[in-house]
Structure 1
Amino acid sequence: MKLDYKKTFILGLGFFAISILWPVYNAFVPIMLEQYTKKATVIGMIMTIDNLFAVAFQPIFGAMSDRTNNRFGRRMPYILIGVPISALLFSIIPYTTSLITLMLTIIIMNFTMSIYRAPTVALMPDVTPSPLRSKANGVINFMGGLAAAVAYAIGGILYRMNPSYPFHMSSIIMVIALIILYTFIKEPRDFRIEEKKKIEKVKDIEKNKSLIFILFAIFFWFTGFNAVETFFSLYGQYVLNIDPGRASIVLSLFSVSFLLFAIPAGFIGTKLGRKKTIFTGIIGALIFFIPLIFVRNAVLVSILLVAGGIFWALININSYPMVVEMAPKGGVGTYTGYYYFFSASSAVASPILFGFIKDIVGSYESLFLYSCIAFLAALLCMFYVKHGDVSVENYDEEKRLAIEENYGD
């Protein structure tokens, strides 16, 4: 059984379209907000709207897409509605002339993004045989990382030319990706939702326990990651004694190593097994993050972060396929919503929690200690995950043939 890389890269365009928007949004919207308010707390609260909407709405639309059945498919109706409206609103953002109009545009745009984010991601397990989902998720995350690199590199150049250009670039790419996705990706023709049988109740209880523990593991390792991502520039300034620009470059090395190792992480997860790969990733991340509690040299920090990014790929690439592997037939969108509920919840809670801790201890030196504790909590949760793995060798040939019949070539 081989992964259809052409189809997977085309599918990755959906994730590319999602990912190219957020770097531009995070980089330039705070600058616009500062024209109307100098209060960093207010700006920070506004900038967390996307995560709050992800927590509130993505599980809803993911579940709704499971139960949608029309001539456009299950996921595609939400993508066809959400992407064009989001692209249009994103292009309008630089032309707003007051805090009220800017806020209104941001809120509606974040809502329309929530309409299609979970259904877009759910397309991957829909059209990919179960044993190959780690490989496919590696490709898709690579596309997302590539989108972020494009947004940061080209967006900065375009912003100097005209502040509205990065927004237009992202919107145009989103629409082009939508057209390609709609043209080349066929949705399944089988819309049946699995009905539970009484004899499966014990198995379902065990599977639900595994689901709960992996979702909390996801929450904890994103808790560790989000704190570092949010506060590293301040950590660099006050602990490493480097300027914020250099701190940003140092942290970007973590993202680059994750990007370069995204596809290999999928291969490793397929060969070694998802749970073992995630265990390896967490332990490896801890091995390289624990020294960061004590190291104060920017060069050594950079080296440790590069290694940490590799192990972060092992964790991140294989976790989503484990979650949707536990989904009943027809429930992939719902379980995708669960995944984003827990990952987005950590993005809301972790910066606030670490900020509170920093205010108590009075220093950013505890950043990586906080991160390591969160990763240890994730490791503990993973011990109780008993489901979510599948091997190519044990995969039922009938299931493979059914996928080809339902999803097309």
Structure 2
Amino acid sequence: MAGENKARTSRAPRLDYAHVALASLPFMGMISFWQVFDGIVPKMLTGTFGLDNMTTGAVMAIDNVFGLVLLPLFGILSDRCASRLGRRTPFILIGSVIAAFSVPLIAVANGMRSLPLLIFAILLTLFAICMYRTMTVAIVCDITPRPLRTKADSIQKMVGYAGTGAMLVAIAVMVPSGDMPNYIPLFMLQALVILGSAVVYAIRVREPQLVQKMHDESLKMGIEESEIMVDDSPEAGGRAKITDRSVLFSIAMLLAATFFYYMSYNAMTTNISRYADMFYNMEGGSYAIINIVTIVGALSGYVPLANLSLKVGRKRVAVASALVMALAPVALWLIPGFSPVFYLAFLAIGIALGGVDMCVYTMLLEVVDANSVGRYSGYYYTVSMAAQVATPILSGIVMDVAPGLLFAYIALMGIFMLFAIAAARHGDTVLIDEVARRESASA
């Protein structure tokens, strides 16, 4: 495959941190929105409109249903886009503009107590987010040579979650107490974050030039982005054909690993508040300390694990991280009660979450042609959405029948994920040390 060719370069590649960070801004605007949507919209539905929990849950699940259909569709459409702005940029800019209009409309509808307007605003917002969600990650891969994609992904995650943290602070500061708080300032701020991120991106990021630069850098390393046979006929729609069964099997395993990753991770985030109340005597919002420790672990691990993957390969880092995600929940399951030592387990889980998240996605894109990045990014998010639809139901059954088995369920999903990653034969890239060694030999 392209990423497994021998390097023929005059210098080791270096990551363009500035352009990666700038290209990550739409991702920041998009991902920060979910903190506001998931945290505030349920309060609107139950507090303002008096909907029951089941109906509220159904409304909140629309985003997953939209994602199952729209994310791969827009990913494929972006692969086929021939705009002078590039393949991803038109979707990013149009989706951001629509979202910047529709996000405040959600708060306006709540203030007007108009449920039809609220539902319309939610649907329009989710459509807009789906229009460019896949593109926010595909663009970073498009402009980054394959050996450096894991490191670029770590930078994107840090930029994205910086925006997420800022919006969490905004929620704490800007949402007043009371039965009918005014959410318009908060939603206006979120719209400005989305729009501002898109404006800076439009001004500073020139997708075609950066993609060409990536191709030039890749060719210097002996990495040819168009090795996979491509049928450019109108009938095939330019679809890249992968005929190697081993590669197809690896793609299936990496998508399966993604599915079980979200089955495991989402089961914890969905149920940890109730589990902590039952078994750790953490009442009220004190369970949030567990979430904070987990997020701190993920953020602290992104860059070190990305650098490690350049030395030992993505698969080894992903397998080691998956092993932690399989074993740490077993300890939490088997040891009764709560001890502060448990925070070390949650910290380790957070680091491992970051390791799997970075490596599996970049392994998937390593085995596909540059013309298919949007398509397979869409598939990646589709299986993640499917898992986030399934695991709240399955883990909810566990919590109803035998809540003490929650971490056993999480561990089981981690084991499935571990086996899937281990079974994938493709996805590693040329290691930086090997690039430098070959450079020295050729010199």
Q: Same fold (TM over 0.5)?
A: yes
Residues 81 and 239 of structure 1, relative CA distance in 2, 3 Å threshold: same
The residue that corresponds to 2:428 in the other structure is 389
The residue that corresponds to 1:74 in the other structure is 87
**How many angstroms does 1:357 deviate by?**
2.9
Aligned partners of 1:256 and 1:195: how far apart in 2?
Answer: 39
Q: 1:272 aligns with which of 284, 288, 312?
A: 312
The residue that corresponds to 2:350 in the other structure is 309
Aligned partners of 2:274 and 2:416: how far apart in 1?
Answer: 25
The residue that corresponds to 1:174 in the other structure is 194
Q: What is the SS of the residue equivalent to 1:389?
A: coil
Q: 1:243 aligns with which of 275, 283, 297?
A: 283
The residue that corresponds to 1:29 in the other structure is 41
The residue that corresponds to 1:185 in the other structure is 205
The residue that corresponds to 1:133 in the other structure is 149
Aligned partners of 2:230 and 2:21: how far apart in 1?
Answer: 37
Aligned partners of 1:195 and 1:354: how far apart in 2?
Answer: 40
CA deviations on 1:125-158 (whole Å, 9 max, x unpaired) are 1100000000000010111221221111122201
CA contact (8 A) 2:228 2:241 kept: no
CA deviations on 1:17-64 (whole Å, 9 max, x unpaired) are 111111011111111001213411111121121122111101000110
RMSD: 2.2
CA contact (8 A) 1:236 1:244 kept: no
Q: 2:384 aligns with which of 343, 348, 353?
A: 343
**Which is greater in Rg?**
2
Q: 1:121 aligns with which of 124, 133, 137?
A: 137
CA deviations on 1:99-130 (whole Å, 9 max, x unpaired) are 22211211111011100111221101110000
Q: What is the SS of the residue equivalent to 1:128?
A: coil
**How many angstroms does 1:162 deviate by?**
4.2
The residue that corresponds to 1:262 in the other structure is 302
**How many angstroms does 1:287 deviate by?**
2.9
CA contact (8 A) 2:75 2:374 kept: yes
2:171 equivalent to 1:158 = no
The residue that corresponds to 1:14 in the other structure is 26
Aligned partners of 1:103 and 1:194: how far apart in 2?
Answer: 46
CA deviations on 1:151-205 (whole Å, 9 max, x unpaired) are 111222011284222211111011111111111212136799776279x989622
Which structure 1 residue ranges, 5 or more long, are not aligned? 397-409
CA contact (8 A) 2:258 2:384 kept: yes
Aligned partners of 1:175 and 1:194: how far apart in 2?
Answer: 38
Q: 1:288 aligns with which of 328, 348, 353?
A: 328
2:349 equivalent to 1:321 = no
Q: What is the SS of the residue equivalent to 1:383?
A: helix
CA contact (8 A) 1:3 1:136 kept: yes
For 1:176, the aligned partner's letter is G
CA contact (8 A) 2:24 2:136 kept: no
Aligned partners of 1:100 and 1:201: how far apart in 2?
Answer: 44
For 1:6, the aligned partner's letter is A
CA contact (8 A) 1:8 1:136 kept: yes
CA deviations on 1:292-342 (whole Å, 9 max, x unpaired) are 113321523323101211111111111111111111231100010011011
**How many angstroms does 1:265 deviate by?**
2.0
Residues 385 and 151 of structure 1, relative CA distance in 2, 3 Å threshold: same
Residues 13 and 235 of structure 1, relative CA distance in 2, 3 Å threshold: same
Aligned partners of 1:110 and 1:291: how far apart in 2?
Answer: 38
The total of aligned residue pairs comes to: 393
Which structure 2 residue ranges, 5 or more long, are not aligned? 1-12, 213-224, 232-239, 437-443
The residue that corresponds to 1:57 in the other structure is 70
Q: 1:104 aligns with which of 120, 134, 144?
A: 120
Q: What is the SS of the residue equivalent to 1:89?
A: helix
CA contact (8 A) 2:175 2:182 kept: yes
Q: Percent same amino acid at aligned positions?
A: 28
The residue that corresponds to 1:144 in the other structure is 160
Aligned partners of 1:146 and 1:134: how far apart in 2?
Answer: 18
CA contact (8 A) 1:3 1:132 kept: yes
CA contact (8 A) 1:193 1:331 kept: no
CA contact (8 A) 1:131 1:395 kept: no
Q: What is the SS of the residue equivalent to 1:72?
A: coil
For 2:139, the aligned partner's letter is L
For 2:88, the aligned partner's letter is R
Q: 1:218 aligns with which of 254, 258, 278?
A: 258
Residues 354 and 333 of structure 1, relative CA distance in 2, 3 Å threshold: same
Query: Scaled by the length of structure 1, what TM-score is found?
Result: 0.91
Query: Scaled by the length of structure 2, what TM-score is found?
Result: 0.84
CA contact (8 A) 2:228 2:242 kept: no
For 1:60, the aligned partner's letter is L
